[in-house]
Structure 1
């Protein structure tokens, strides 16, 4: 066996016990590829769907877990222009569709899926923000087409994705209404520029309608528990419901959908192609340049070797929460002890 690298990987789909901490062949970048040394990898809910097989995607076993990484360029393959050894880069599309995963000492990534890390960004805090930020930007701009002044309703606004949707909605000039059950999150959401409604997800649309009787332009539920039929009923003509947590079913009046030109559209970040992901990455990085980055709270930093435990906790909903009621993110680093205390970008 040739040179190897340590990695958290799986050779078949299943529960978190299929994740091994061991050795994989040391990867070399081919044409159009770059070898990256990861500094931090986020743990996303979708990672557990890939590993469990609940979401079907081509996998080249054995494959390391994880899709979002921040790292440093180690080697550049033929034709991979514009990057040099030592450059800081990020990607949000490793570990699915046949591509190598992120949680390894070295990872090969296609050049067209790598983006510059903003100068001021801390690797741990930045990687924690990537999945929420890219989801928010893509859902609001590539799918919903949110416009300044439109009413945007975000249900579950104290979750990682919900918080990013609120921040991006406000930055885009939307009239953002943030729906949460935890009253502790209200002050922070208000400081960001949202109007806060305290309500259960199931009654969110009705609760918002009392505040916005003229109707809702864009409705996004991050919890999978909102009443989508009720949301559709409260849309303005040409209003949109973006489904990104489709855990329930809904009975919708198709005649109303037609004559009022309403849209109910599914969205999954993994369906974006490389050009769409680059557009999204550009918007995410631009927020940093503008001094208003889309942020997330780092709940806990673990080692690469702790990936199986991190997946167990993600599936069990055993995630840290801030004192103001926001969900914390789990981040993996090569050596957890080198990173000190958990941090936040807020």
Structure 2
């Protein structure tokens, strides 16, 4: 098969479309003929040599895909060749085929185009596991989403609204704010022009944060009493100063989580929760993946540049 290989750490130009050995399914795995994958910020970090895949997994980038099951290994329940699926991956999505544990394979939501389903696994699993499983966002509570126009942000807005929550967002332009509002965001702040902590002070029951250290103090200020901050990214740095007094006064909690390095069985629990609780909303049209652009898989370097430029809203798909 052909796959996008990182020839050496560096810029988008180090992505090399070349022939590599076909994957074979180990016991408990299936092989998927990839129709589409999607670009995530973790792929950019891996390309730069800053975020290696978990030991024993594919060195090929790509954390999600959609396609058709081609082969099934032993001890795989409920998945058969010919099934239309999407999958959460530890790596390997930028390829014509990928092997994946059966626990991380999900059926394509009814009525959704097969290529579009590649935009769902990473964002749906991230939002469901963090906002609903970890932070336990409840109906009537308020969610603050940083980076509301990102793939994760667009999914978080829709899911929170579908479950009856109020949604606040930050975004980097008037156009992105309008897109967030169209998806259901109740209030939005352009972080280039306004301090989100001042605007949303004491109002957020749950905060989903991709920034990290730079926003730590502001996030604590924005939390409501009993609020839960979930940090899932470090775009704004890994080390910050925490005011424990402010945290104690609000009886608040901070969670820091990742998805890629979790055990397979843990990912399986998340995927099953997504199929049970998110897919019906997708089928009903209440939640949809937001696709900014479809780019040929062998032009992944162009997709990486587009993600780095940051003008997109939602997901960048890589299609075959």
TM-score, normalised with respect to structure 1:
0.80
1:319 is displaced (CA, Å) by 4.5
Distance 1:239 1:82, change over 3 A: same
Deviation per residue, 1:104-123 (Å, 9 max, x gap) = 22222122221211221212
1:187 is displaced (CA, Å) by 5.0
1:86 is displaced (CA, Å) by 0.4
1:191 is displaced (CA, Å) by 4.8
1:123 partner SS: coil
Bigger Cα displacement from structure 2, 257-266 vs 68-77: 257-266
1:223 is displaced (CA, Å) by 4.9
Distance 1:203 1:225, change over 3 A: farther
Distance 1:62 1:137, change over 3 A: closer
Distance 1:80 1:112, change over 3 A: same
Partner of residue 300, structure 2: 307
Distance 1:158 1:10, change over 3 A: closer
1:71 is displaced (CA, Å) by 1.0
The 5-angstrom pairing of residues 237-248 of structure 1 reads 237-246=225-234, 247-248=236-237
1:167 is displaced (CA, Å) by 1.1
Partner of residue 270, structure 2: 280
Distance 1:58 1:152, change over 3 A: closer
> Is the CA contact 2:124–2:278 (under 8 Å) kept in the aligned structure 1?
no
Partner of residue 245, structure 2: 255
The 5-angstrom pairing of residues 1-346 of structure 1 reads 5-10=1-6, 12-58=8-54, 63-95=59-91, 101-186=92-177, 188-200=179-191, 203-209=195-201, 215-223=203-211, 227-246=215-234, 247-248=236-237, 249-285=239-275, 286-290=277-281, 291-292=284-285, 294-314=287-307, 316-317=308-309, 319-320=311-312, 327-334=313-320
2:292 partner SS: strand
Distance 1:28 1:233, change over 3 A: closer
Distance 1:161 1:194, change over 3 A: same
> Is the CA contact 2:103–2:267 (under 8 Å) kept in the aligned structure 1?
no
1:293 is displaced (CA, Å) by 5.1
1:35 partner SS: strand
> Is the CA contact 2:295–2:318 (under 8 Å) kept in the aligned structure 1?
yes
> Is the CA contact 1:11–1:62 (under 8 Å) kept in the aligned structure 2?
no
TM-score, normalised with respect to structure 2:
0.86
1:126 partner SS: helix
Q: Give the distance between the partners of 2:226 and 2:299, measured in 1 at CA.
A: 47
Distance 1:77 1:204, change over 3 A: same
Deviation per residue, 1:161-217 (Å, 9 max, x gap) = 1121111111222222233343345555445443113332661121123xxxx6321
Distance 1:75 1:148, change over 3 A: same
Q: Give the distance between the partners of 1:289 and 1:220, measured in 2 at CA.
A: 23
Q: How many residues align?
A: 314
Identify unmatched segments of 5+ residues in structure 2. none
Deviation per residue, 1:241-274 (Å, 9 max, x gap) = 2222322344322133235432122222224333
> Is the CA contact 1:244–1:267 (under 8 Å) kept in the aligned structure 2?
yes
